[in-house]
């Protein structure tokens, strides 16, 4: 009788632990986005990044045209960094809270999402370059144009994928 009670207790404990593990796994699975859901979320980030790049272009144009001082430019770059950091943190938090289910992407959905991530990386590169080269307007202008092309290319990845998906090529 004692052996039966011990076996019963061990079995109940094992089943309880297994049930808790299964429940936690199910909850984690429910939080995951499909590739399509994550792709659809990218439009919010693209909208934010489009506004952001417009503001950044204005500030760089004013500085290159020598309409604002270097100190003002660096202050604006600092503000841009704060805005970009907020976007990056939001993006990373959403990725961590809602990881994408493996194998749920289509090619174009993945391509679009890569475009958004690359855009975030290129924007950070521009801000880093601006702080390093703020003293030499000519160098800053040339490097800005070169790096700005990277942003155009990465945002074009998103747009091309979006167009393909809209045309029925997921």
Confidence of residue 33 (pLDDT cuts 50, 70, 90): confident
> Total structural domains in the chain?
2
Q: What is the mean pLDDT of residues 76-90?
A: 97
Whether the Cβ atoms of residue 98 and residue 38 lie closer than 8 Å to each other: yes
Q: Are residues 51 and 15 in the same domain?
A: no
CATH number where 125 lies? 1.20.120
For residue 26, give its domain range: 1-31
Q: What is the mean pLDDT of residues 142-162?
A: 94
Q: Are residues 84 and 10 in the same domain?
A: no
pLDDT at 120: 97
pLDDT for residue 134 is more than 70: yes
Q: Are residues 108 and 26 in the same domain?
A: no
pLDDT for residue 95 is more than 80: yes
Q: What is the mean pLDDT of residues 132-147?
A: 93
Q: Are residues 93 and 55 in the same domain?
A: yes
């Amino acid at each position: 009788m004692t052996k039966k009670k011990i076996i019963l207790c061990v079995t109940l404990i094992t089943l309880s632990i297994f049930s808790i593990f299964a429940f936690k796994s199910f909850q984690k699975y429910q939080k995951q986005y499909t590739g399509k859901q994550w792709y659809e979320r990218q439009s919010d980030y693209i909208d934010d990044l489009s506004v952001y790049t417009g503001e950044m272009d204005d500030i760089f144009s004013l500085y290159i045209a020598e309409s604002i001082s270097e100190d003002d430019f660096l202050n604006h770059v600092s503000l841009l960094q704060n805005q970009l950091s907020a976007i990056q943190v939001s993006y990373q938090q959403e990725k961590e809270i809602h990881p994408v289910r493996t194998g749920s992407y289509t090619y174009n959905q993945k391509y679009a999402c890569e475009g958004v991530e690359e855009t975030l990386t290129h924007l950070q590169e521009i801000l880093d370059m601006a702080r390093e080269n703020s003293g030499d307007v000519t160098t800053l202008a040339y490097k800005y144009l070169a790096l700005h092309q990277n942003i155009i290319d990465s945002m074009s990845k998103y747009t091309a994928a979006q167009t393909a998906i809209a045309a029925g090529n997921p």
